[in-house]
A and B are shown apart, each in its own frame.
Chain A
Amino acid sequence: MNWKEPLLAVVLLVAAGVAPFTASTYSVEVLILFLINLILVSSYRILTTTGDWSLSHVVMMGTGAYATALLSKWWDLPIFLTVPLAAVVAAVVGLIVVTPLLRTKGFGFFIASFALGELIRLSWIKFRDPFGGARGMIGIPSGEMWEIDFFEPIPYYFFVLVVAVASLLFMYRLDHSRIGKTFKAIYTDEGLAESLGIDVQRFRAMAFVTGAFFAGIAGSLLAHRLGAIDPKNFDVNTMVYLIIWIVVGGTSTFWGPLIGLTVMTIVFEWARPLLEWRPLLFGGILIFFLIFQPGGLEGVFAQVRDRLAARRRGKADRTSAGNQES
C-alpha cells in the first residue's frame, strides 16, 4: 500500500462525514442507498476475482433482507444483532447455493447461478407464510441504538457509514491478502493454481460465501431503511444494475467497482427526468463499455496515468540531456 490510498481514504471519510449536513433529506436518502450499494458492489467483486460472475448475488442480498425482516418480526431483535445475523444467514444460504455450483464453470456457472437464485426468490413468493408472498414483508423496524431513532435519515446514515467503512476495510484487506491473491491466481490459470497445490473448489466457495456474507449485510441495512421488502427488489433487474456498476467501473482493482457505482449513481440521479427512457440509457452504457472499454473506468484511469508518467519521463530525459550539454 502506498501513501496515496490512505490519503484518499481520509479525504473521502471527511467528505462523507460532512455530506449529510449540507444535503437535503432526499439527498441523504440517496447517500444511504449509495453506501449500501458500495458494500454490495464490493462484495460482488470478490466473486468476480475468481472468475465466477454469479447471477444470484442480489438474491443473497435479498436473503439478508428477508432474514432481517424475520428476525425483527419473530424475536424483536435490535439492529446491532439483526445485521450480523442476517449476514450469517446469507453466508449459510450462499454455502448451500455454491456447493452444487462448484461443479460448473464459465457459462454453465452463469446460468446455474441464475436458476438457483430464482429458485430462492420464487420460494419467497410461493411460501406466503412466512415470506409474505408477492407483496413481500412490511413493518420492518428502522431500528435504534443508544436511544437514537434510526428512522431519522442522518443518524441512520452514520450507522450505515460505520458498517460500510468496516466492511470495505475488511474486503480491502482480503483483496490484498494471500487469499485475495489466490482468488486471482485461480482466475488467471486454474490448472496452474491447482498444480501449485491450491484447492480450487474450496477457494471458489470461500469467495462466494464471503461475498454472500457482505451482500447479506447490505440487504439487512436496506430492509431496515425501506421498512418493506418484496421479491421484486431482488430480481434480475437489480442484478443487471449491479452488473452495470461493476462493468462500468472494472474489476481488476478494489476501487473499480466503487468508481463505477459512484459514476452510475450520479448518472442515475441526473437522468431522473428521462423516466422510462432510463433503462435504455443504462443498457446503452453497458453495451458501450463492454465493446469499447471492457476494462471499465479504472482502465481509463490507468491509461491516463501511464500517459502522464510517460510524458513526465520524457521531460526528465530532456532536462537531464540538457544538463549534460551545459
Chain B
Amino acid sequence: MDILTVRTVTKRFGGLTAVSDVNLDVRDREIHGIIGPNGAGKTTLFNVISGAYAPTSGTVTFNGRTINGKKPHEIAQLGLVRTFQRNAMFPTYSVLENVLLARHLQAKQGLFKAVFASDRKQRAKNLERALEILEFMELIDQKDTLASSMAHGHQRILGIANALAVEPKLIMLDEPVAGMNPTETALVTDHIRRLRDDWGITVVLVEHDMRTVMGTCDRITVLSLGEKLMEGLPGEVASDPRVIEAYLGSDEWDL
C-alpha cells in the first residue's frame, strides 16, 4: 500500500521549472531515497511535499488525504514530519527539554485551559514518552546535556528525536548525514533503519551521499533536471545507464 503518492507535480518559479511532472510512490514502511545531482529538484520536491511550497499543478496524497495546498504545520499534524538539513533544535535547552518541548507543542488546548488547568497527568505522560524516545534514539545518557554543546552527529539525531515527539507515520529526512564523518554516518543510518524496523515509521530520504542511499534505502527515485529519471531498487539504479550518464562528469557522484 502506498502511504505517500505524488502525482504529476510541477513547480515553477517564474520562468524556471524546478520540478516537472514528477510522480512518486512511497510504500508503507519502506525507506525511500530521493537522489539526483545538484539542481535536480530534490529540495523543491521535498518542500512541495512538506507544504513549504504549493505545487503549480499536480497532487500530493498522504495516508488517503490530499495534502497539497495545506500548510506545513497541518501536514505535520497529519503525521508527515520533516527534519532539516541544518542542525535544527532548541539550542538553549537540554536534550530532554528539547523532546519535552516538542511534546508540549502537540497539546491542543485553549488559552484559559492552559493558564488555569493543572495538567500534571499530561506532563507525566509526556515525560514518559520523551524518555522512551531518547532511549530509542540512544540519547538517554546525554539527556541533561545542553543541546548546543552536543556533537554534530548527535544534534542531527536529536533533530530526529524531536520529530518523533510528533508521533509521525512518515518522516522526511533532508540530507541527514550531510557533513558527517563515517562513524557518525553509520550511527545515523543505523538509527534510520531502526525507525522503520522497530517503530514501523516510513522514511523518505533526500540525500547527496550515494553510499548512504544505496546501503539504507529499499527503493530509490532518481531526479534529474527537475524530472523523474527512474525508480527502482538500489542495484537497478546503480547500474542503470541513464543514471550513470546523468552523473557522468559530476565529481560529487562516486558510483
Contacts and interface: CB of A to CB of B under 8 A. Distances in A.
Contacts of B74: 199
B114 interface: yes
A189 interface: yes
B163 A196 contact: yes
Given A195-B50, A196-B162, A196-B165, A188 B114 contact: no
A199 B84 CA distance: 18
B73 A199 contact: yes
A52 B81 CA distance: 26
Given A181-B104, A182-B105, A185-B101, A194 B72 contact: yes
Contact of A195 (B81, B101, B111, B115): B81
B175 to A, nearest CB: 15
Interface of A is mostly: helix
B90 A196 contact: no
A200 interface: yes
Given A170-B115, A196-B166, A185 B105 contact: yes
Interface in A106-156: none
Contact of A173 (B76, B92, B116): B116
A189 B90 contact: yes
Contacts of A173: 115-116
A195 B77 CA distance: 9
Nearest to B109: A178
Interface in B113-127: 114-116, 119
A189 B88 CA distance: 8
A193 interface: yes
A182 B102 CA distance: 9
Interface residues on A, range: 20 to 34
Contacts of A49: none
Contacts of B59: none
B83 interface: yes
B106 interface: yes
A6 interface: no
B84 A192 contact: yes
A197 B84 contact: no
A210 B110 CA distance: 12
A310 interface: no
Contact of A185 (B50, B90, B119): B90
B90 A197 contact: no
A181 B109 CA distance: 13
A174 B82 contact: no
Nearest to A179: B114
Interface residues of B, number: 32
B104 A195 contact: no
Contacts of B104: 178, 181-182
Contacts of A195: 50, 72-73, 76, 81-84, 88, 163
B21 to A, nearest CB: 27
Given A191-B88, A192-B90, A198 B111 contact: no
Contacts of A324: none
A177 B72 contact: no
Contacts of A179: 109, 111, 114-115
Given A174-B111, A174-B114, A189-B90, A199 B101 contact: no
B211 interface: no
Interface string B206-249: 00000000000000000000000000000000000000000000
A206 interface: yes
Given A185-B90, A192-B84, A195-B84, A174 B76 contact: no
A199 B72 CA distance: 9
Given A179-B111, A196-B165, A191 B102 contact: no
B90 A199 contact: no
Contacts of B114: 174, 177-179
A195 B46 CA distance: 13
B84 A191 contact: yes
Contact of A197 (B89, B91, B105): B105
Q: Max chain A CB contacts within 10 Å: which of B73, B83, B119?
A: B73
B115 A174 contact: yes
Interface in B51-94: 71-74, 76-77, 81-84, 88-92
Contacts of B163: 195-196
B109 to A, nearest CB: 7
B107 interface: yes
A156 to B, nearest CB: 27
Nearest to A189: B88
Interface of A: 170, 173-174, 177-179, 181-182, 185, 188-189, 191-200, 206, 210
Given A178-B114, A192-B84, A196-B105, 9 more contacts: A173-B115, A181-B105, A185-B101, A195-B50, A195-B73, A195-B76, A196-B106, A196-B162, A198-B105
